[in-house]
Structure 1
Amino acid sequence: MSDKINYNNFDYYTNRELSWLDFNDRVLEEARDESNPFLERLSFLSITQSNLDEFFMVRVASLAKLAAVNYPEPEASGMTAEEQLKAVNQKAHVQLTKQYQTLDNLLPDCEQLGIQLKTVKQLSDKQYQFIKTYFHDDLYPVLTPMADDSSRPFPFIANDTLNFAIQLKKGGNDEPLYATLQIPDVFPRVLRLPDDDNAFILIEDVVKEFVSQLFVNYKIKSSSAFRVIRDMDLDVAEEDTSDLLKEVQQQLKLREHGDVIRLEVESSISKKLLKRLTTELNVDAFAIYEVPGPLDLTFLKHVVKETNGHDALKYAKFKAYQPKALSAQNNIFDAISQHDWLMQHPYDKFDPVAEFIRQAASDPDTLAIKMTLYRVSGDSPIIRYLGQAAQNGKQVTVLVEVKARFDEQNNVHWAKKLETMGCHVIYGLIGLKTHCKLSLVVRRETDGIRRYMHMGTGNYNDATAHFYTDMGLFTADNDMGIDATNIFNMLSGYSRPPFFHELHISPEGIRDFIDEKLDAAIQVVKDGGTAHVQMKMNSLSDQGIIAHMYRASHAGVKIDIIVRGICCLRTGIKDVSDNITVHSIVGRFLEHSRIYIFDFNGESTVYLSSADMMTRNLNRRVELLFPIKQPDLRDRVIAIYAIMWTDNVKTRVLTADNTYKRVSRGGAPANDSQAVFVADAEKKVAFAQARAEQNKLSSLQSAGEGQPAATEQSDAVDPGNDNGSDA
C-alpha cells in the first residue's frame, strides 16, 4: 500500500511562507490574550511588526526576485514564486488589519491604566509648548526636506526609515510641488511629555504639526507618513572572491539599495501622493499597505520600556539557577571532569558558558581554545575572554560566521577585534554558513591531554540567553572530544574525517542520521515492536524529511513534533500522517532549543542539535547534532520534553484543516511549561541559598566548639539538584 502513495503530493504540504505568517499570527494571539500581563501584550504586538519586517526583507524579497525572472519550478505545495508572492501579500494584508484592530483594543486599556499615547489635539498648553520647543531646538536643525522636481530627482528612501511625503503649492500657482522628509533615527520615536509621568507622543506627530515651518512661503496641501521595506538579503558570490570579509563589507553597502518590497502609508494619504510614491518607488499594487494608525508598531516596545511604575503589568522577574560547581568560585574543569552538565536556558544561567571560556583563558593547563561564533551580543564577555586567552599565550582559533543574517556588520567588527587581540580567525566556509554552537578547550593534565567541550542549541549570546530557550551540554567525553577536534580541523583546513564517533555534522550528516533513525523506527514496527519519535525544533520545512516522516507514520510509527514557527507538514491525512501530532508553543520566551528523541521498544536515545529540519540547515550549513549519553541527563531531557508536550496553556495543536487551535484543557489543571520551568529554577535557587546558609551556620558552630569547619563536601548533599538532573 505504501508503495502506491506519492508522499510528495502537493496537497500534503503547506507553503513555507504562508506557514510563517501563521506563526506570526500565533504571536499576535499573545497580544490579544488577556491572561498575559498588559504591557507584555504591547510587546507581543511590537514583535509581530519586527518579525514581519525581517520576513519581507529576506523571504518575500527572495520570492520577488524569483518572480521577476518567471522562475517556473513550484515548491513543495505546488505554488510558483509569483503565486507565493501574491498569496503572501494577500495574507499579510489580512494580518495588518488584525494588528491594528488589536492596537485599537489595547489603547483604551492603556488610557485606563494611565499610559497615554497622545495626539497633538489632546495636549495641554504646557505639553504643546514642550513639543514646539523640542521641534525648534532639536528637530529643526537636523531635518532636511528634499524637493522633488525636474532638477532634483526623487531622493533615495532608506530601508525601514520613517518619512513624510509632502505636496505643496506656492501662491496662486496651482502646479503641485512635491518633497520628502526623513525623520532621522537619532531621535527617540516616543517622546515623554511633561506633567504626566506616562504620557507620550510620537515624533512623527510633532514633525507633522510644525512641518510647514520647513517650507517658508509655501502652503502644505497634503502630507503623509510612509515607510519602505527593501530587499536586504545579502548576496555574496563567495566563489568569486578571495577575501570574504571585504566581500561581505561591500555587500552590506549595496544591500541598503535593494528593491522596495513593501510600501506602508497612512490610510489617509491623498491619491496624488500615493500615486507619486508608487511610481517613484516602483511598487506593485499588492505591495502597498494602507495603515489605519501609526506606522511601524515597533514603537510599542519603547512605550513599554519608558513606562514607569507598572512592574505588575510585566512578567515577574525570576532568578535563574547556577550550579555552585560551575561558578567562578570553583574550578569548572574539575566539575566537568566528574560528570556531564546539562544547561537549560534561561532557567539556568548563561554565566557558566562564559565562565568556561574565562577560566580557560587564565588556566595554566589550557593549551588551546577553539570556538564557533554565529551571533554574539554587542558587548560580549566571551569575545573579551578569548582575547585575554590569546594574550596569555593560548592557541585561540575562532570561526566567526560573517554571513550571519543581520549580524554581518557586528560579526565583521568582532572578527577584526579578535585578530588584533592575537586570535586566529576563520571567516566561515565558502558556500556554507557555520551555524553549529561548539567550543573546545584542550588541557594538559597529569594523565595526558584532555578535551573539554560545550555544545549548544543556541548562540553564544549572553543577551538573547535571557529570553531564548536553549539547551547546552558540558562534557569531557573522549570520543566527542576527538570528534570536536576533527570538526575544527575540517573548518580551518582541508581535513575531511572519514567518520565521527558520536557527533553528527551537516551538511548531509544530520540528514543521513535522521533518515537512518526513521528507517530503524519503521523496521521496529514491522518487527512487531513499538517506535515513538519525539522532536522539537524551530521550523520543519524540508520536503525529504517530511516525506520520510509520512512513510514512518504510515508504517505505524508514532511521531510527536513541537515546532515554534514554520511547519510544512500537514496532519490528519488518511494513511499518510494519521500518527503524527504537531504542537506549537508561543509564550513568554522564544522557544529555540532543538531536541530529537527516539524510543524503540521502551529504550530511548536523546540528542540535541543546532539544526532545524530545514533544507538550509541540512544541506547548506555546518550544523551539529550531539547525544546526551549520561543517564540522568538523558532522563532530564525526556522529562523536559514531556512537560512541554503536556502544556495546555500556551500550546496550539495543528489540526487536519491546517489551522492551529489552542489545547482544550477541560477541567485539567493549568500547565504552562515555561512557568513550570521558571518555578523549578526558583526552587533550586532557594534550595541552594538555604543550603549555603546552613553550611555557614554549621561552620560557625563547629568553630565555636573547637571542631573543624564544615567542608565544601557538604554542598554535595543534593547532587541531583546541583547538576540539574531533576525536572
Structure 2
Amino acid sequence: MRQSGSFKKYINRDLSWIEFNRRVLEEAEDAATPLLERFQFLAIVSSNLDEFMSVRVAGLNDQRKAGYQKADFTGYSPQSLIKRIIKRTERVTKQQYRVYRDLMRMIAKEGVLLQPWEDLNEEQQDSMKSYFQDIVYPVLTPMAVDVSRPFPLVHSKELYLAVVLRKNDAAETDMSSERTFCAIVQVPSILPRTIPVPGRRNSRKQSFLLLEELIKEQIGLLFSGYETEAVHAFRVTRNSDLTLNEEGAEDLLQEIEKELRRRQRGIPVRLEVEDGIHSHALELLKDELGLEDDVYEIDGPLDLGFLSKFANMLPNLDHLRYPRVEPVYPVEFEEADNMLSVLRERDVLLYHPYESFEVVNDFILEAASDPDVLAIKMTLYRVSTGSVLVQALAKAAESGKQVTVVVEIKARFDEERNIAWARQLEKAGCHVVYGLAGLKTHAKITLVVRREGGSLRRYVHVGTGNYNENTARLYTDAGLFTCHPDIGADASALFNEMTGYSTPHDWRSFAVAPIGLKPKLFDLIDKEIAHAKAGRPARIVAKMNSLSNQSMIDKLYEASRAGVKIELIVRGVCCLCPGVPGLSENIRVVSIVDRFLEHSRILVVGGGGQDQVYISSADWMTRNLTRRIEIMCPVYDTGLSQMLLNLLQMNLHDNVKARELLANGSYVRVSNEHTPLRSQFEAADIPLWKTVAVGLENE
C-alpha cells in the first residue's frame, strides 16, 4: 500500500459523483445483466448526467464567471474542477456510446433493429413517408435564423436539428458564406422517439426508425426553394437550479411557477452535437449559446434516455429482463381487519420494494374512513402521478377530518407536479403548508391522531423514502409503523414547528435537522469513541446515499483513530478516504449498484455492545444537515432492529454487486472467492431477514 502522505484527505464531491455514474455504466457493460436491463442502465447514465450538468456544473460555472477562485475543502477551485469534470465526462460519454453500439449489435441478434433510413426497403420507406406526412409534418415548425429572425429560444434538454441550406439558384462554384442559410427544427418530444417500421415480408424481426432520422430524410419538404446542405442534431442543457427569494415572495407558489418558466431560459452549460456537424452550424450554435469548452461531439443518437422507453416497448422479450419481483403484503397486516389494532400490539417494519407500498396507502385509507380518527398530518416530497395517497387525504378532508399536508414544492424537477397536488388538496379542504422559508422539507412522516376511550393515541409512519408508489417499486427503502408514545409526541411537535411558530422542541426520540440532527450524530459517535478508548466494543455501521459533509467526515476520522470499527454503505458520492494509515484504517466503504436503487438511510451504533438502530430521511451531506427539515428516528423494538441489522449484513457481505472504495478515490469490485452473495437477491427472501437473526459480528 502507498504511504498515507500520497493520499488526499478528501475526495471531491463532483469527481466522486462521476465515479458513481461510471459504476452505473458498468452495469450496462456487465454481461451478467439481462440485455434489456442494460439498456435501462445506459438510459440512467444519460439522465444522471443531465441533472449533474444542469445543477452541479451550472453552479460551478456561476462561481467561475463571478470570479470566485477559493478552493473547496477538497482542494479544488471552480476553474480547476470544471477542467477535470469536462475531461472525465468526455471519457464517460465515449465509453457510454461504445456500450450503446455493442448493445445494439446484441439486440439485433434478437431480431430487434434500430435501422438507418438507407437500410429500409422501398415499401418501408413509403410507409415512413406516409407517417411523416400524417403525423410528424403537421407539428414541425422550421425556424429560420437571419437578420430579421433572431436565434430562437432553444429549450433545455430538447432535441433539435440544425439545418444548413443553400438557394436552389446558387451557382455550384459559389461557396461564399452569404449564400448559406441556417434554420432550426425542434424534434417534437410529444411524439415517440422510436417509430415501429412495418416488417419485411416473411420476417419476424422488429424494425424501428429514430424520429430525428425520419425528419432529416424529409427535411426538404420544410424548405421549398432551398437545397439542404447538412442536417445535424444538437441538444442544449441549461442551468436548471431555481433562484428563489423566499423571504420576499408573498406567494411562494407564484414565485416558483415564475422560476419554472425561467428554467427553460437558463444559462446554457452544455452543448451536445452530432459528430460531423457542419462547421457553419456549429459556430452559430457556439456563438449564440455562449459556449466554447462545454461542447461534446457525440458519435451516435443524442440523449440515450430514450432507451428506457424503447426497451419497455419491446414485446415477447421477457427472457432479456430481470424476473419480476412481486411485492408481498406484510404478513403482520395480511390477516388483520384493522391495521391500527395491530400497531397497538406491536411496531411493524417494512422494506420496499420487497414488501408492498399498498400497506402505506391502506394506512391512510383506513384512517380516512375511521370515524374516531380526528386528524391526519403528512409530508409529501415527491409524489407519483395518480397518487392513491393524495386521493385518500382528500377523502379524509371531505369527511370532516383535520388534514394537514406539508408539500415541498421546491423538490427539484417535481415542482410542477407538487404544485398541482397542492392545489388539488386545497380544493378538497386540506390545510396545505409549503414548508419553511429557506428550508426544504425532506422528512418522510405521517401522523394519525385517533380518539380512544376518552384519550388520544398517535399512530406514526416514518420512512427513508418518498411517499411515491412508483419509486417504491424501484428503490430500496425502510418504513416504520408505530404508536410508541415518545415517537407520537415528537411527531406532533414536528408538525407544529412546520406549520406554526413553535420554538425548537426538546425531542424525546427524534433528531431533527437543521438544528439537532448533526449534534445527535456527533454525540453518538463520541460515545463510540469513549467505548473504544475504554476497551469496550465500539462500532458504527451506516447506510446512506451520499457522504460529503466535511465535519462529519472529520468526526469519522476521529473515531477511526480512536479504534472504532466503521463500515459505511454509501451508494453514490463519498468524500471520505478509507483505509489511510493513521487517519482512516478502521473505515471500510462499499457501494452497491444493482437492479434497485439503494435508497435507505440506516444507522447502527454499537453502544458498548448494545446496538442502537435508527432510520432517517437524511444523507450525511451539508444540505441535509443544515438546509433541510430531516428526521432520524430510533427503532425501539429489538426484533425490528435485528431485521435492519440483517439487511445491513447482507449489504456488507455482497460480493457480486458491491464495489469497495479505495483511498485514491477509485472503486474495485469486492472479491468473489467465496459463495456468491448478491444482497438485493438475498433480501427478496423475506424470511431470511425477518425471521432469522443473522446479526453483525463484533470484531
What letter is aligned with 1:680?
A: I
CA–CA distance in 1 between the matches of 2:440 and 2:334?
33
* In 2: Cα distance, 1:499 partner to 1:86 partner: 47
Q: Secondary structure at the match of 1:252?
A: helix
What does residue 144 of structure 1 align with?
141
Q: Partner of 1:571: helix, strand, or coil?
A: coil
Q: CA deviation at 1:509?
A: 1.1
1:434 correspondence with 2:436: no
Which residue number corresponds to residue 674 of structure 1?
680
Q: What SS class does the counterpart of residue 138 from structure 2 fall into?
A: coil
- Equivalents in 2 of 1:502, 1:396: separation in Å? 24
- 2:170 equivalent in structure 1: 172
Take 1:328 and 1:60, find their aligned partners in 2: how far apart are those partners?
52
Counterpart residue number, 1:118: 115
Alignment of 1:217-236 (within 5 A): 217-236=225-244
Query: Which of the residues 183, 192, 197 maps onto 1:193?
Result: 197
Structure 1 residue 401 corresponds to structure 2 residue 398:
no
* Counterpart residue identity of residue 17, structure 1: D
Which has the larger displacement, 317-326 or 126-135? 317-326
CA offset at residue 481 of structure 1? Answer: 0.4
| In 2: Cα distance, 1:302 partner to 1:395 partner | 41
**Partner amino acid for 1:446?**
G
Distance 1:172 1:209 in 2: 22
Paired residue for 1:688?
none
Q: TM-score, normalised by structure 1?
A: 0.92
Contact kept? 2:646, 2:693, Cα under 8 Å: no
Matches within 5 A, 1:51-66: 51-66=48-63
* 1:180-579 superposed matches below 5 A: 180-195=184-199, 198-285=206-293, 287-327=294-334, 330-446=337-453, 448-579=455-586
Report the TM-score, using the length of structure 2 for normalisation: 0.95
- Counterpart in the other structure of 1:701: none
Given candidates 56, 62, 66, the residue that maps to 1:69 is: 66
In the alignment, the residues of structure 1 paired with residue 636 and residue 101 of structure 2 have an alpha-carbon distance, to the nearest angstrom, of 52
Q: Higher mean Cα deviation, 452-461 or 242-251? A: 242-251
Q: Distance in 2 between matches of 1:142 and 1:479?
A: 59
Identity of aligned pairs, percent?
Answer: 43
> How far apart, in 1, do the equivalents of 2:369 and 2:360 lie?
15
Task: Give, in whole Å, the separation in 1 of the partners of 2:105 and 2:237.
Answer: 30
Match of 2:32 among 24, 30, 35: 35
Could you tell me how far 1:73 is from its partner in structure 2?
A: 2.4
Matches within 5 A, 1:632-647: 632-647=639-654
CA distance in 1, matches of 2:228, 2:196: 28
Name the CA distance, whole Å, in 1 between partners of 2:519 and 2:205: 59
Report the counterpart of residue 705 of structure 1 in structure 2: none
Task: Please tell me whether residue 609 in structure 1 is matched to residue 607 in structure 2.
Answer: no
1:44 counterpart residue number: 41
What letter matches 1:675 in structure 2? F
- Residue 680 of structure 1 deviates from its aligned partner by 3.1
Show the counterpart of 1:693.
none
Aligned equivalents of 1:328, 1:304: Cα separation in 2: 38
Residues in 1 aligned to 2:383 and 2:206: alpha-carbon distance in whole angstroms? 34
- Give, in angstroms, the shift of residue 447 of structure 1: 5.3
Query: Which of 82, 95, 99 is the equivalent residue of 1:98?
Result: 95
Relative to structure 1, the CA distance from residue 411 to residue 726 in structure 2 (aligned partners, 3 Å threshold; closer, same or farther) is: farther
2:78 alignment partner in structure 1: 81
Change (3 A) 1:361 1:498: closer
- Partner of 1:11, secondary structure, is coil
For residues 657 and 87 of structure 1, the distance between their equivalents in structure 2, rounded to whole angstroms, comes to 16
* CA shift for structure 1 position 256: 1.3
Amino acid at match of 2:416: Q
Contact 1:526 1:555 in 2 (8 A): yes
Q: Secondary structure at the match of 1:141?
A: helix
Q: Deviation string for 1:240-299 (max 9, x for gaps)?
A: 1121111111111111100111100011112222111111111122x0000001111011
- Are residue 163 (structure 1) and residue 160 (structure 2) matched? yes
Q: Decide which of 127, 132, 137 is 1:135's aligned counterpart.
A: 132
Contact 2:380 / 2:466 at 8 angstroms: preserved in 1?
yes
Amino acid at match of 1:672: R
Contact 1:73–1:80 (8 Å) recurs in 2: yes
Instruction: Answer whether contact 2:336 2:342 (CA < 8 A) is retained.
Output: no
Shift of 1:11: 2.4
> In the TM superposition, what whole-angstrom CA distance separates every residue of 1:571-628 from its partner, at most 9, and x where no partner exists?
2222001111000000000000001000133210000000000000000000010001
Task: Determine the structure 2 residue equivalent to 1:700.
Answer: none
Against the structure 1 CA distance between its residues 467 and 129, is the aligned structure 2 distance closer, same or farther, given a 3 Å change threshold? same
Name the counterpart of 2:17: 20
Report the Cα offset of residue 85 of structure 1: 1.8
- The 1-side partners of 2:193 and 2:318 are apart by 22
The residue matched to 2:147 in structure 1 has which SS?
Answer: coil
Distance, in Å, in 2 between the alignment partners of 1:581 and 1:527 is 23
Please tell me whether the aligned partners of residues 56 and 261 of structure 1 are also in contact (alpha carbons under 8 angstroms): yes
The answer to whether the 8 A contact 2:64-2:78 is kept is yes
Distance 2:581 2:164 in 1: 60
CA contact (8 A) 1:10 1:78 kept: no
Per-residue CA deviation, residues 214-240 of structure 1 (Å, 9 max, x unaligned), is: 111101111110001111111111011
Residue-by-residue CA offset, 1:278-332 (whole Å, 9 max, x unaligned): 11111122x0000001111011112201111110100101222212543596201
1:290 match: secondary structure: strand
CA RMSD of aligned residues (A): 1.7
In 2, the alpha carbon distance for the partners of 1:680 and 1:296 equals 38
Distance 1:328 1:93 in 2: 55
Gaps of 5+ in 1: 685-719
Shift of 1:126: 2.0
Q: Secondary structure of 1:387's partner? A: helix
- CA apart distance, 1:725: 8.4
* Aligned length, in residue pairs: 681
Preserved contact between residue 327 and residue 352 of structure 1 (Cα < 8 Å):
no
Q: Which runs of 4+ in 1 moved over 2 A?
A: 323-329, 724-727
Deviation of 1:726 after TM superposition, in Å, equals: 8.8
Q: Is the 8 A contact 1:197 1:308 kept in 2?
A: no
Structure-2 change in CA distance of 1:531 and 1:325 (3 Å): closer
> Partners of 2:315 and 2:356 in 1: how far apart?
27
Name which of structure 1's ranges 655-664 and 458-467 shifts more when overlaid on structure 2.
Answer: 655-664
- Indicate how the Cα distance of structure 1 residues 340 and 726 shifts in structure 2: closer, same or farther if over 3 A, else same: farther
Q: Does the CA-based 8 Å contact 1:324-1:330 persist in structure 2?
A: no
Query: For 1:581 and 1:116, how far apart are their aligned partners in 2?
Result: 45
Cα separation, 1, equivalents of 2:649 and 2:566: 14
Distance 2:454 2:351 in 1: 32
Structure 2 CA distance for aligned equivalents of residues 27 and 198 of structure 1: 28
Name whichever of 102-111 and 483-492 sits farther off.
102-111
Q: Distance in 1 between matches of 2:332 and 2:46?
A: 42
CA distance in 2, matches of 1:442, 1:497: 22
Determine the structure 2 residue equivalent to 1:588.
595
Q: Is the 8 A contact 2:113 2:205 kept in 1?
A: no
